[in-house]
Structure 1
């Protein structure tokens, strides 16, 4: 049996006995639905009247970009949790329900590598695998051990930043200053920004439950950098890192990373996930210097109408590169007004 969005209590009981991350939870569904006004479906398969597997999915509709299903949009990771042998049932259900009017299903790589579909499961389920990104994950042990494995230049940068600035956890009172810096960074990156309401929801729904936090480094009383991460099930996943180039020489970004890492160690977290990265990007070397381990991060596609793996959001796509260059030159207010609607249509 397959059921969409069964009672929260059933889902929470199932999650207590299986490895998963925050995007599998009803709480995260609330966060995304509140932020993007979408229908975040937790599709569950059942064995003997109990949930055996769960796949979070959102349908993204756009006249320009087409209609598709994504697990999970607006985040770096996705995929199912539970018994992998029931995944074909879930995919068959999706195929039958969305065969008309939907181009494809994208299942993003899991934050838990063992939950990614195996090659045999891909073949059985007609999933196409795409390798576009890698990820850096830092295993956490003692503070001394982690510090020892950080590259010497990075340790020196942390010490320099400790003399120049102060790092602390941000609160809603810091939101205006944080969001202004965030907008400036997103334009510089050439990427549409989230709305301020997204971060208000983060504080109200996620942070208050202890499932996320934002660290910020202040220099001369000004916010010089900030780092947002989800903190769930003994894993920290960093999703947003911003900084003011004016203070780059003081290395505020290194200080906030180290503060977040030490917090995670003190609270017995097992890993600090720097998030996805492209091998040719500047972030690749930055994340490597922290002693993090490079891991594969494949995505999986199930054709519904189209037979080709989409390339619209592939960083190697020339149209994607052109869109970045155009966005970098738009007025800041325009990016704020249009960013969230574009993200919603792209599912990014």
Structure 2
């Protein structure tokens, strides 16, 4: 019989072994991410394990995200593109879903989100005795590039325009570095600028620091102009045979010299050097600007499936006038203000 239990610290290695052996898991499913989120934002977690005869059959990592403004939610997983139930057994998946529903009832939470990378049949139209209704969101894709064995082979696949765009920042005296916490201040300087310009509250610097300290497979990249001025930045997280890019930013004032093109080239070269087979550019909406940007590098779309339970069915393209107004106002705020207030708000936004 399959039992569902909450993960104990002593079983964290068993959890990670299961995650690394699955074809439908991600770096964010690893136990270190639990520690990172708890340490950074102090959110309560429930890591559920389905087991039979002491063998792990499936897992579901959940965080409780509380907000007096946005409401409370159970999310798998917050602040990243991928999460959800990991199992190859539909019966096991259903049991984990039912346990999540039980948690929602006991915690008096009316919103649950599962960020799956594959379609699952066990997500029913309603849960919690019909009080929570399913909205299946399929408007996003992950952009994934298969990597060759060497940099020259990859460069030769690029169209002439892209090759020229990569060379341009090099001609403008831009250079790149990759490393750990020693680059964090320069990374965050660029990150704060970019998030403000996008109208989005910035994450706490502690999140990146904790990510770097949690795993040697997490790496920062910074592009400098004239050797000293940070103008673009990103992070790469390694997992099995794939390098994942959760964040990438550049300063709009340096857009003419295209530092972001050199940034992505540096990440791709690093990924090839470390023998990763794939590079994940992250989530995009088909047809939009970020999708086309990633597509030019040769990345191919893979459908994402986000299963969202709420008290009502929410249309995927439902307009949000308040969000648009917030973005407009936030993008005009002074940087010091966004640096202080950003993390306070961002910890409450689970997207």
After superposition, what is the alpha-carbon deviation per residue over 1:96-125, rounded to whole angstroms, capped at 9, x for unaligned? 222251112101132xxxxx233x333488
- Residue in 2 that maps onto 1:117: 119
Q: After superposition, where does 1:60-209 map in structure 2 within 5 Å?
A: 60-85=65-90, 86-99=92-105, 101-110=108-117, 116-118=118-120, 120-123=121-124, 127-142=134-149, 143-163=151-171, 164-206=173-215, 209=216
Using the alignment, how far apart are the partners of 1:284 and 1:15 within structure 2? Answer: 28
Residue matched to 2:131: none
Q: Alignment partner for residue 4 of structure 1, among 6, 12, 18?
A: 6
Match of 2:273 among 266, 270, 276: 266
1:213 alignment counterpart: 219
Unaligned runs of 5+ in 1: 111-115
With the length of structure 1 as denominator, give the TM-score of the two structures: 0.89
Instruction: Provide closer, same or farther for how the CA distance between residues 251 and 315 of structure 1 changes in structure 2, counting only shifts above 3 A.
Output: farther
What SS is found at the alignment partner of 1:122?
coil
Residues 1:240 and 2:228 aligned together:
no
Aligned to 2:320: 317
Deviates more, 1:74-83 or 1:182-191: 74-83
Structure 1 residues 125 and 145, CA gap change in structure 2 (3 angstroms)? farther
- Asked if structure 1 preserves the Cα contact closer than 8 Å seen for 2:189 and 2:230, the reply is no
Give the count of matched residue pairs: 335
Pairing 1:22–2:27 present:
yes
- Note closer, same or farther for the CA distance 1:139–1:26 as it changes in structure 2 (3 Å cut): same
SS of residue paired to 1:279: coil
User: Using a 3 Å threshold, how does the CA distance of structure 1 residues 294 and 167 change in structure 2: closer, same or farther?
Assistant: same
Instruction: Report Cα offsets for 1:22-65 as digits up to 9, x if no partner.
Output: 22221111111111111232211112221110111101122221
CA contact (8 A) 1:2 1:46 kept: yes
- Residue deviations 1:244-289 (CA, integer Å, cap 9, x gap): 2333222221112111111211222121111111235322221111
Question: Where do 5+ consecutive residues of structure 2 fail to align?
Answer: 128-133
CA–CA distance in structure 2, aligned partners of residues 194 and 343 of structure 1 = 6
Q: Deviations over 1:177-200 (max 9, x none)?
A: 322221111100110001122222
Question: Displacement, 1:299?
Answer: 0.9
The answer for the alignment partner of 1:334 in structure 2 is 337
SS in 2 for 1:302: strand
TM-aligned CA deviation for residue 315 of structure 1? 8.2
- 1:209-241 C-alpha deviation (Å, 9 max, x unpaired): 2x2111111111211211212111111111111
Q: 2: distance between equivalents of 1:310 and 1:5?
A: 34
Q: Distance in 2 between matches of 1:341 and 1:200?
A: 17
Evaluate the alpha carbon distance shift between residue 204 and residue 4 of structure 1 in structure 2; reply closer, same or farther with a 3 A threshold. same
CA RMSD in angstroms comes to 2.2
Cα distance in structure 2, aligned partners of 1:271 and 1:45: 30
**Runs of 4+ residues deviating >6 angstroms:** none
Aligned-partner Cα distance in 2 for 1:193–1:273: 22
